[in-house]
Amino acid sequence: MTKLAIVESPAKAKTISSFLGSEWTVLASYGHIRDLPTKGLSVDVDNHFKVDYELRARKDVISDIKAALKDADELYLATDEDREGEAIAWHLQEVLKPRIPVKRMVFHEITRSAIDEAVSNARDIDYRMVDAQDSRRIVDRLFGYPVSEVVWRKIRQGLSAGRVQSPAVRLVVDRERERMAFVRADYWDLAAQFPTEPSFTASLHSIDGARIASGKDFDQAGVAKEGVVVLDEAGADQLVTALAPPAQTAAQAGGSTFTVRSVESKESKQKPKAPFITSTLQQVGGSKLRMTARQVMQVAQGLYERGYITYMRTDSTTLSADAVVTARRLIEEKFGRDHLPDEPRTYAKKAKGAQEAHEAIRPAGDAWRTAEQLDGELRGHDLALYRLIYQRTLASQMVDARLNTVTLKIDAPAQDGRMTEWSASGRTVVFPGYLAVYGFHGEDTEEEDDDQARLPAVAEGDVLPRPEVTADGHTTQPPARYTEATLVKALEDLGIGRPSTYASIMGTILARDYVWKKGTALVPSWDAFAVVNLLTGHFTSLVEYDFTARMEESLDEIASGTGQREPFLNQFWFGNGTPGLTDLVKKALEQADPALINAVPIGVDEDGEPVVVRNGKFGPYVKRGEDTASVPQDLPPDELTIDRAMELLSAPKGDEPIGTDPESGLPVFAKLGRFGPYVQLGDADTLPEKQKPKMASLFKDMALESITVDDALKLLSLPRVVGVDPADGIEITAQNGRYGPYITKEKDSRSLESEQQLFDLTLEQALALLAQPKQFGRRGAPKPPLRELGEDVASGQPMVLKEGRFGPYVTDGETNASLRAGDTVEEITPERAMELLQIRREAAPAKKKASARKKAPAKKKKAAAAKAPAKKKAPAKKAAAKKTAAEDPSVAGDGEA
């Protein structure tokens, strides 16, 4: 009997086919083969919400599957075990219309035993799960298209709204608003370094019984809570002097004596964390490995498809009985019976809307290998992520760590009569328990390891040697911006989205420029503020943080059979007694005021005139009455204070000249553009038709507010002819480039040390500089990369940062991606480079992908089958690229128009 199995990706097909016999053919569908049409609402809301799905799969993929189906006696639909996988299986059945028995085959790990069990326990398609996934997809479209139309009309074209992406953007904007409202406060504290063995440091705790203020004692307005002492710099310095007079011992001066008042010892237990689910894996992958959510999912999917870990899209912390047996056996073998609890540990999932549909993420099979055993077989991020999963799984089934914390309280009377109290604490591991997996320290948490300093053996009443006392100043910090890891945690805690959507949410809000990255922090754009203003003002119920959680509960009810698809969709769209989405859209189109939506208050000037930020055709600008000024694109919103706004507004206006060039008679302008300040000679009113004005950027030490016409003309005189090389008569010029000043002689160039050298460099100095060894090899050779950034996880190719005609960009040899706002040549990380490349791949025009497929139809046809080695010759990178696009949940969309 011939059996045909269909999975989503070629990698998965290859692994599964290795476990099945010669009577099996395993083909790849390359993810979703059908989806909603790309244009229009495409949902008949008046006809039971009927959708006419369109075919998305390549013709050669479908023809290969249909050809294999003709020779098969049974069809196994072996797509993923979640709702999305169930829907893909249903779409395959609808398109193929098989006349042979159809079976649904599900598994949570790709091992021989799991595949054999899945074949033995094949079932029918679960149409309730299909209805739930279909309902989610329809709601995303019903939300995305109409609401995005409102966004286009009230803000600008090119923006979008989405059921999950919009609450995510709102979280980032709300955090930035907290930072904008935050008032910083200064405070000081004291530290005493004791020359004991071992040495240790104690912190000033209180003065005369009143506790010294720390950062957590100040509110958003910078006001300290009652009952704490706020030390300023003068008070801190005065106390240092009163405690330890310089160049005198305590005995000589009759000064302060530091006496141990108490020694407290307390033993505590520390429990291991639950095994990984999708969201926690993304969080730890981000904090420990500096990977984006998308990169974590790409690596995890590869590990799953090659049989190293279990299914990576799950919100269940449960381990199977077999997995618990394996974990307990390994713990006893590697760490001893005393590291094993009497009973297996279980973990309750507390996140909102958890489905508990799958097992937690763990090593696959029943013979787990350590990361050290896989070193060489796996490498880079593959190995690092596997190590985290292995360690977390084992640790979750081990005993608690036992810790001992010793706290010293120290009294020291100051010479001015005040009594100061100091404290120091140290922690030791009494019994490592689960920490043994991590080498006794450094668990996979977002926080840094909190091992405290060792303390000397002292007793109550001991007089300590005189310490060195120092004062330290601090400034309170606003709430930290979200990173991808912390935003994923916030989404999970609020029940927004599902594990499979987190990576696509991050990719979408970055690709749409709703947020940009400053290091790893997510900074909202001014467009994001405008969209959130619109949605919270006119679609309040749909962007409340619990809306998505409530919707997921409804989808769970549909999947379990306690709810129905059509009543759920009716309630969402028509309202049935309460305003539905169609009512909200109509009202917003009629009533939403673009002037209010697009305004973000910054403050008021000295006369009480309000200053706001607005979005314009050429980017954001500050506005005070009729006065406006552009906002630099790399200026975070919380740094646009009222003082900074007034500086921008007081800078020379682009339409008012700062003087006139005496030679040409043309006006000279000083302007602030999106890429910084610059000067300009002439304009459309004073230059011949179609002639562009000459422009020059300001030097780094120049300010737009103080630029003079003489300074501007000096800048506009560049490039400067330094002289002519007497040896060959070729001219040497000095000019300013994107990456600094340089001299050039035909195609030969050398960098200058300062911008001032552009005007001061002599011909002799220039000739000496050109005589030095060339920086970039032989004449005409391509410039070397600005930086090398390691290997790209998706393509497997080396990434380099290069200087292009339009600025720096990162490339893996096939895909080029320009750096964005917040990215710098010096600070960009390999993880950020991979993210930019992936965003660029996904934004590539569809017609380019189609033409690439036309070039090699034979190889692509063979790439789908995984029955015999002869049928696996498709280039790996093209198969991987297709898989990434097809299997990424963002293909199904998040209500984006």
Please check whether residue 29 is in contact with residue 48, taking contact to mean a CB–CB distance below 8 angstroms: no
pLDDT > 70 in the chain, percent: 87
Phi and psi of 441, rounded to 5°?
-165, 170
- Cα–Cα–Cα angle for 137, 534, 599, rounded to 5 degrees: 150
Segment 690-698 shows an average pLDDT of: 87
As to burial, measured by CB atoms within 10 angstroms (0-12 exposed, 13-18 middle, 19+ buried), residue 470 is middle
Q: Which residues contact 425 (CB under 8 A, 6 or more apart)?
A: 405, 406, 407, 408, 452, 455
pLDDT for 524-553, tens place per residue?
999 999 999 999 999 988 888 888 778 888
Taking the C-alpha atoms of residue 381 and residue 295, their distance in angstroms, rounded to an integer, is 9
pLDDT for 273-319, tens place per residue?
999 999 899 999 988 888 888 889 989 989 998 989 998 888 889 89
- Cα–Cα–Cα angle for 110, 113, 114, rounded to 5 degrees: 45
What H or E segment, with its residue span, contains residue 543?
helix 540-543
In sequence order, what are the beta bridge partners of 406?
A: 265, 426
Q: Long-range contact list for 874-880, CB < 8 A, 24+ apart?
A: 874/10, 876/796, 877/795, 877/796, 877/797, 877/814, 878/852, 879/9, 879/10, 879/11, 880/11, 880/794, 880/795
Tokens of 724: 């002519």
Which residue has 């380019």 as its token pair?
848
Segment 738-751 shows an average pLDDT of: 83
Alpha carbons within 13 angstroms on the beta-carbon side of residue 491 total 35
Tokens of 497: 């989205």
Per-residue pLDDT band for 801 (boundaries 50, 70, 90) equals confident
Taking the C-alpha atoms of residue 118 and residue 90, their distance in angstroms, rounded to an integer, is 18
Dihedral angle over CA of 867, 868, 872, 873, nearest 10? -150
Instruction: Select the more confidently predicted residue: 463 or 875.
Output: 463
Cα diameter, the chain: 102
pLDDT for 477-531, tens place per residue?
999 999 998 999 898 888 887 777 888 888 889 988 899 998 889 999 999 999 9
Length of the chain: 897
Give the chain's mean pLDDT: 84
Q: What is the DSSP string of 440-485?
A: TS--S-SSPP-PPPP-----TTPEEPPPEEEEEEEE--PPPPPBHH
Question: 186 to each of 205, 210, 224, 228, 445, how far by Cα in Å?
Answer: 17, 18, 10, 14, 30
AA identity, residue 304: Y
Residue 311: active-site member: yes
Q: Which residues contact 752 (CB under 8 A, 6 or more apart)?
A: 734, 740, 741, 742, 743, 758, 761, 769
pLDDT for 397-438, tens place per residue?
999 999 999 999 999 999 889 999 999 999 888 899 999 998
Taking the C-alpha atoms of residue 270 and residue 753, their distance in angstroms, rounded to an integer, is 56
Instruction: Please state at what angle helix 565-573 crosses helix 547-560, rounded to 10 degrees.
Output: 160
Q: Which residues contact 342 (CB under 8 A, 6 or more apart)?
A: none
What H or E segment, with its residue span, contains residue 620?
strand 619-624
Instruction: Select the more confidently predicted residue: 93 or 250.
Output: 93
pLDDT for 228-243, tens place per residue?
999 999 999 999 999 9
Tokens of 45: 């809301």
Q: What is the pLDDT of residue 893?
A: 36
Nearest Cα neighbor of 502 from 793, 282, 349 is: 282
Per-residue pLDDT band for 69 (boundaries 50, 70, 90) equals very high
- Provide the 10 A C-beta neighbour count for residue 355: 19
Question: 304 to each of 14, 361, 362, 795, how far by Cα in Å?
Answer: 12, 10, 10, 18
Segment 182-193 shows an average pLDDT of: 95
Q: What is the pLDDT of residue 781?
A: 45
Taking the C-alpha atoms of residue 440 and residue 444, their distance in angstroms, rounded to an integer, is 12
- 3-class SS of residue 4: strand
Per-residue pLDDT band for 1 (boundaries 50, 70, 90) equals confident
Q: What is the pLDDT of residue 451?
A: 44
Segment 844-866 shows an average pLDDT of: 42
AA identity, residue 834: M
Per-residue pLDDT band for 851 (boundaries 50, 70, 90) equals very low
Residue 114 CA to its chain's centroid (Å): 34
How far separated are the first and last CA of the chain, in Å rounded? Answer: 47
Please check whether residue 164 is in contact with residue 548, taking contact to mean a CB–CB distance below 8 angstroms: yes
Q: Pairing between strand 600-604 and 610-616?
A: antiparallel
Kindly report whether the peptide bond that precedes residue 719 is cis, defined as omega within 30 degrees of 0. Answer: yes
**Catalytic choice (311, 390, 502, 742):** 311
As to burial, measured by CB atoms within 10 angstroms (0-12 exposed, 13-18 middle, 19+ buried), residue 791 is middle
Q: Which residues contact 555 (CB under 8 A, 6 or more apart)?
A: 83, 132, 135, 136, 568
Q: What is the DSSP string of 644-685?
A: HHHHHHHSPPTTS-SEE-TTT--EEEEEEETTEEEEEE--TT
AA identity, residue 258: F
Q: What is the DSSP string of 28-78?
A: E--S-SEE--SSS---BTTTTTB---EE-S-HHHHHHHHHHHHT-SEEEE-
Q: What is the pLDDT of residue 887?
A: 31
- Cα–Cα–Cα angle for 126, 128, 129, rounded to 5 degrees: 70
Segment 362-381 shows an average pLDDT of: 90
Segment 698-720 shows an average pLDDT of: 86
Dihedral angle over CA of 233, 237, 243, 248, nearest 10? 160
- Cα–Cα–Cα angle for 99, 102, 106, rounded to 5 degrees: 160
Nearest Cα neighbor of 717 from 769, 662, 762, 767 is: 662
Tokens of 768: 């000496």
Q: What is the pLDDT of residue 888?
A: 31
Residue 98 has pLDDT above 50, yes or no: yes
Tokens of 245: 């007079």
Residue 562 has pLDDT above 70, yes or no: yes
Taking the C-alpha atoms of residue 526 and residue 523, their distance in angstroms, rounded to an integer, is 10
Q: What is the DSSP string of 277-311?
A: -HHHHHHHHHHHH---HHHHHHHHHHHHHTTSBB-
AA identity, residue 459: A
Q: Pairing between strand 667-673 and 731-737?
A: unpaired
- 3-class SS of residue 895: coil
